[in-house]
Structure 1
Amino acid sequence: MMRNNITELLKGVEVEWKTLGEVAKITIGEFIHQNNQAESAKYPVYNGGISPTGYYNNFNNRGHKIIVSARGANAGFVNRISKPYWAGNSCYSIGIKDYYKLNWIFVYYFLKENEKNLIGSQQKGSIPSVSKKQMEKFQIPIPPLYVQTEIARILDTFTALTAELITELTAELAARKKQYNYYRDKLLTFKKDDEVEWKPLGEILHRTKGTKITASKMKEIHKNNAPLKIFAGGKTFALVNFEDIPEKDINQEPSIIVKSRGIIEFEYYDKPFSHKNEMWSYHSQNEQINIKYVYYFLKTKELYFQNIGSKMQMPQIATPDTDKFIIPIPSYKIQNRIVKILDKFDALTNSITESLPREIELRQKQYEYYRNLLLDFPKVQES
């Protein structure tokens, strides 16, 4: 239906092509020192990046302009500004010469659709840049004004709907995570009169060392789909074959991995693995201890360990910090019940977490498809 409406809108429409320099005035901004900018100031300052670099108490453009990053890693990035702003010396401002013939939002969407071409036209050098001359030569289609206005309206609607959906999905994910954390903390909070034992972690679990390996070596031996996972700090890991590291360094037991440096956190893993030797892991050799119950309890205490680590120049904890940490041990039956409940919550939260990026990507592709459809004007062949 939407495609039919677009086809009808563009049916028989005559399109004139002109250079951007013919229909718009392109100006470069003025340098303003970072020391003169403040978060409390009124007007955003745009330079070569995607977001404002700061705020200033004055403006040099009244708004209703298209801006393009002139230099830097984001040279060629297209944005639009409706309100007054300060354009820095790495920011082009594009103002339409005749608003009775050209809708500035239509021009913005056309440039955004062709942003890759602008980025691709970067002058190569120590700092990527797009010249004013390149900008001025850029070809712009000019259909009748009513067509431009309708295209701008449709794309504004799509943009708003896409943003609204992303906001709703993100809020849903945050709500689910908050709900999960609430029930997890409630399940793992024990009162004095509860029938639980309190024991140091080092007494109930067996601690294991990792393997001596460098980050460069991990990168060198990494093979997609290899069966053995080697953990490093944060989200870094390598997949390797069993023969790539000493057999004594391979752990076959379901374990809690202690990421002890940088971002201090715990991870549960139940397949063969190893980890860098500055980290350590725990597994259970006691049939009355459910290792995953201990993992869930430690996840509620990550902030405690992060606070210990923050006292160091490089955030880190040591083995005594975890070995001596006291945890509650309810009956094995209660441990299993808690794990069963939290596994279900965890699966639900992960499902939403995984589906959110896919849904956002789908909506973005749908939006880009219709934007391309609306802005795909045939160029007149030169005779």
Structure 2
Amino acid sequence: MRVKLKDITNYSKGSQVNSDCLIENGKYIYLNGGVNPSGKWNNYNVLSNTVTVSEGGNSSGYINYITEPFWCGAHCYYLFDGPKNTKYLYYALKSQQQRLFKLRSGACMPNIKKKDLGDFELEFDFNEVIQNNIVNILDECNKIIDNYHLELELLDELIKARFVEMFGSIHENRMYPYLNVKNLTTVYSGGTPNRKKTEYWENGTIPWVKTTELQNNHLSIIEECITKEGLENSSAKIIPAKSILIAMYGQGKTRGMTAFLDIASSTNQACACLLSTTNINMEYMWYYFQFSYNKLRGLAEGGNQPNLNLNMIKNFPVLVPPTELQNQFVGFVRQVDKSKFEIQKSLEKTQELYDSLMQKYFG
């Protein structure tokens, strides 16, 4: 049945807590909109097993399900006195996540008005037996997905542990020398052809990488291509395969993320390109930069959106053990990657099943 949210549940904003007053070891999370809690507090104003909708900011419209008592801030709606099975309501709303994002209004600081949220329409089955069955099935899917994610995280930790076992400290090592990147290889940045000139883009055959594609991944399939004319009339350059890309700036977690080029490609100006060289095992150096993510991000400069630059990348110190040991480490990583590949395939299949079930149940 198609219903309006206001016809099946009540909803209200919480109360603001000054960020300076949050308690590091508080018993309850403080959720003030957004995807994640903003901190901890010593009291709660909302009970457990509650659906929330972020009210303001870039995350406005994001649906959360909080399983413990918590303090709800003023930029977050919480739903109450609604269906007995609150998890079913969560899944019904979560299935419409993209439509909820479209309720946003306002330019500088988007938000969702209370009336618009109440008038939001969704598919809802009032049969409690059906609700319980749906929740059980979707919960089981999510449990499997979470377990696959955990397995991938543990394998990443195994790789890092193997590095420390073989080489010692990552950034304060006394066993082996550090060399700056500029002493190991050449570093370039890319460029962006004029978007207004269709001849620089239309029917392009030269792969062109953006920082959003850098996810500590191998890159062989690239979203956009430019033409030879676009390459020649911009700062873009052909970067050879087996080079490392590092995002110098970008939204959220992007700055400091990396990729290993499996094919020759060009990039935009936000990518630092460490060209393939025989001075060091490039895969070893790629993993070293993944382990150095936080250290690298900490070098960034600027105001609201701090950035890295080529000079910072060129002068970044890399631990350089003997080549034979570098090769041994890379061989170990490749074996672990085979296991990760199989887990990733299973994860994707389960995610596809979950998505199809959400579509089946909620349209």
Q: Smaller-chain TM-score range? A: 0.5 to 0.7
Partner of 2:171: none
In structure 2, the gaps of 5 or more residues are: 169-174, 216-221, 250-254, 302-307
Letter in 1 for 2:20: N
Partner of 1:379: none
In structure 1, the gaps of 5 or more residues are: 1-15, 186-191, 193-197, 285-289, 330-334, 377-383
> Is the CA contact 1:206–1:283 (under 8 Å) kept in the aligned structure 2?
no
The alignment status of 1:370 with 2:318, answered yes or no, reads no
Deviation per CA, 1:202-258, whole angstroms, max 9, x where unpaired?
A: 9xx997686xx774569997896528x8999x9699987788469xx9899999889
> Is the CA contact 1:309–1:317 (under 8 Å) kept in the aligned structure 2?
no
Partner of 2:21: 36
Partner of 1:11: none
What secondary structure, in the 3-state scheme, does the structure 2 residue paired with 1:122 have? coil
C-alpha distance in 2 between matches for 1:85 and 1:308: 35
Partner of 1:114: 96
Shift of residue 167 of structure 1?
A: 0.6
Cα RMSD (Å)? 5.3
C-alpha distance in 1 between matches for 2:284 and 2:130: 58
The alignment status of 1:131 with 2:113, answered yes or no, reads yes
> Is the CA contact 2:281–2:327 (under 8 Å) kept in the aligned structure 1?
no
C-alpha distance in 1 between matches for 2:63 and 2:284: 45
Deviation per CA, 1:299-321, whole angstroms, max 9, x where unpaired?
A: 879999x9899899778569899
Distance 1:179 1:92, change over 3 A: same
Aligned-residue identity in percent: 17
C-alpha distance in 2 between matches for 1:65 and 1:308: 38
Distance 1:251 1:161, change over 3 A: closer
Map 1:50-69 to 2 at 5 A. Answer: 50-69=35-54
C-alpha distance in 2 between matches for 1:272 and 1:372: 39
User: TM (normalized to structure 1)?
Assistant: 0.61
Partner of 2:155: 172
Distance 1:270 1:159, change over 3 A: closer
Map 1:156-305 to 2 at 5 A. Answer: 156-179=139-162, 182-183=165-166, 215-216=191-192, 225-226=205-206, 244=231, 291-292=279-280, 296=284
The alignment status of 1:70 with 2:70, answered yes or no, reads no
Distance 1:80 1:319, change over 3 A: closer
Partner of 1:344: 331
What secondary structure, in the 3-state scheme, does the structure 2 residue paired with 1:68 have? strand
How many matched pairs?
326
Distance 1:352 1:148, change over 3 A: same
Letter in 2 for 1:88: G
What secondary structure, in the 3-state scheme, does the structure 2 residue paired with 1:55 have? strand
Distance 1:371 1:283, change over 3 A: closer
> Is the CA contact 1:230–1:240 (under 8 Å) kept in the aligned structure 2?
no
What secondary structure, in the 3-state scheme, does the structure 2 residue paired with 1:142 have? coil
Distance 1:356 1:218, change over 3 A: farther
Partner of 2:218: none
Distance 1:47 1:153, change over 3 A: same
C-alpha distance in 2 between matches for 1:110 and 1:266: 36
Distance 1:302 1:374, change over 3 A: closer
Letter in 2 for 1:364: Q
Larger radius of gyration: 1
More helix by share: 1
